[in-house]
Amino acid sequence: MKTYYSAVLGAVLSVFSIFAVAPASAASQTGTGWVAAWLAAAKAAAAKSAAPKSAPVHAAVNPSNGLLKLTGTFNYSYPFMNGAFVTLAQGTTAYSANITVNGVSRRYLVVRPDPAPLLAPLLILLHPLGTTPEDMADLTEVSNFVATQGFWAVLPAGKKGQWDDNPVANGSDDVQFISQVIDTLIAQGVNGQRVYAAGYSDGGFMAERLACELSDKIAAFGVDAATLITGQDSYCKPAVQRPKLYILGASDPLVPYGGGLFFMNSAEQTMSFWKQQQGCGGTVAETLPKVVNDGTTVQLTDYTGCTAGQALRLYTIENGGHAWPGGLTQMVGKTSQNLNATGIIWAFASGYTR
């Protein structure tokens, strides 16, 4: 998958700005003298960029489409972390950490408000196959939401860019890993009653596995570009039902809306399983108003009267591909800009507690 970074532009500009502010004599120095001059110029440029540039930006998330309505314009920084640039909105910071799971060191990335609020909610974001937490942070533009909505985002790293998402074929190390990450961040001050999980593609399949196996720790789930793996009646037995939101592209060739590819259920089969599990009795469907004319439309299906899990929802992206709507991704097919997946998942999940 190719992810498009706004961070790259910022990094390139930063490099040029460092040379621009370096002393003219630095270029003519030999040995290590020019390095010291370059570092001094870099520190000066960094200090200048770290100075406050504008008032804090506030925003409300549109509960219909997940888009942010901003009161101003963000300034961004582009720290280089784990071999990649990460785009951070003003008022946020990020760090990478490791924990040991069954004798193996596992890494995760945290993006949080700065300063860190006490008892903030936590959103777990799970990356697609072959990508990294840093990729996921950028393609979801999660720092904009962290800055304005006040939650922490944690982005765990799959082993070699892949998740143990199939409970029939894979072990449970990844479930244990995410469980330990939750415990670690609760100990650091996040609100254990407001932990949410969402994923894209391979990460979406992993989010579904968490809905089956870790619902005692997670209050709500968001799944994008993934359907249930077949055989769900035998492997998916949640300790407690939780609210779930799905986003599926009707023209997704990798996770076909109609199913029939490899081990994947259709959208209808997936929602039917959860509808039965949650005791939902009816449906209400509507087409959302268009924000842009990008060739996509969004249909919302609410499954009503649920006696367990409180809520079940499906966003169908007509003519949408294998993408994170509203994000910086164009993997296969269209990426709709009529829905923001990060925002709509947050608006949905944040209303629930464990």
The whole-number average pLDDT for the span 102-108 is: 95
Residues 6+ apart with CB under 8 A from 296: 317, 318, 319, 320, 334, 336, 337, 338
Please say whether the beta carbons of 130 and 107 come within 8 A: no
The pLDDT mean for the chain works out to 86
Per-residue pLDDT at 102: 92
pLDDT tens-digit series, residues 3-33: 333 333 333 333 323 233 333 333 333 333 4
Please say whether the beta carbons of 354 and 195 come within 8 A: yes
pLDDT tens-digit series, residues 170-215: 777 999 999 999 999 999 999 999 999 999 999 999 999 999 999 9
Per-residue pLDDT at 331: 66
Please say whether the beta carbons of 27 and 308 come within 8 A: no
The whole-number average pLDDT for the span 219-229 is: 97
pTM, two decimals, is: 0.84
Q: Measuring CA to CA, how many Å separate 194 from each of 93, 182, 278?
A: 21, 11, 20
Comparing 57 with 27, the larger pLDDT belongs to 57
Does residue 35 carry a pLDDT above 90?
no
Per-residue pLDDT at 328: 84
Burial 148-168 (b: 16+ CB within 10 A, else e): bbebbbbbbbbeeebbbbebe
Per-residue pLDDT at 260: 85
Per-residue pLDDT at 330: 57
pLDDT tens-digit series, residues 257-309: 999 888 899 999 999 999 999 999 999 999 999 999 999 999 999 999 999 99
Does residue 36 carry a pLDDT above 50?
no
3-state secondary structure the chain: CCECCHHHHHHHHHHHHHHHHCCHHHHHCCCCHHHHHHHHHHHHHHHHHHCCCCCCCCEEECCCCCCEEECCCCCEECCEECCEECCEECCEEEEEEEEEECCEEEEEEEEEECCCCCCCCEEEEECCCCCCHHHHHHHHCHHHHHHHHCCEEEEECCECCECCCCCCCCCCHHHHHHHHHHHHHHHCCCCCCCEEEEEECHHHHHHHHHHHHCCCCCCEEEEECCCCECCHHHHCCCCCCCCEEEEEECCCCCCCCCCCCCCECCHHHHHHHHHHHHCCCEEEEEECCCCCCCCCEEEEEEEECCCCCCCEEEEEEECECECCCCCCECCECECCCCCCHHHHHHHHHCCCCC
Interior angle at CA 297, CA 294 and CA 302, nearest 5: 150
Residue type, 212: C
- How much of the chain exceeds pLDDT 90, in percent? 75
Alpha carbons 352 and 306: distance in angstroms, whole number: 15
Alpha carbons 242 and 308: distance in angstroms, whole number: 7
Comparing 93 with 261, the larger pLDDT belongs to 93
Does residue 162 carry a pLDDT above 70?
yes
**298 alpha-carbon distance from chain centroid:** 20
Break the chain into its structural domains and give their ranges: 7-50, 59-349
The whole-number average pLDDT for the span 105-122 is: 96
Please say whether the beta carbons of 321 and 315 come within 8 A: no
Confidence band, pLDDT 50/70/90 cuts, at residue 167: confident
Does residue 233 carry a pLDDT above 60?
yes
Classified by CATH at the fold level, domain 59-349 comes out as Rossmann fold (3.40.50)
Does residue 245 carry a pLDDT above 70?
yes
Among 236, 191, 231, 232, CA closest to 214:
236
Does residue 329 carry a pLDDT above 80?
no
Per-residue pLDDT at 346: 98
Does residue 166 carry a pLDDT above 60?
yes
The whole-number average pLDDT for the span 242-258 is: 97
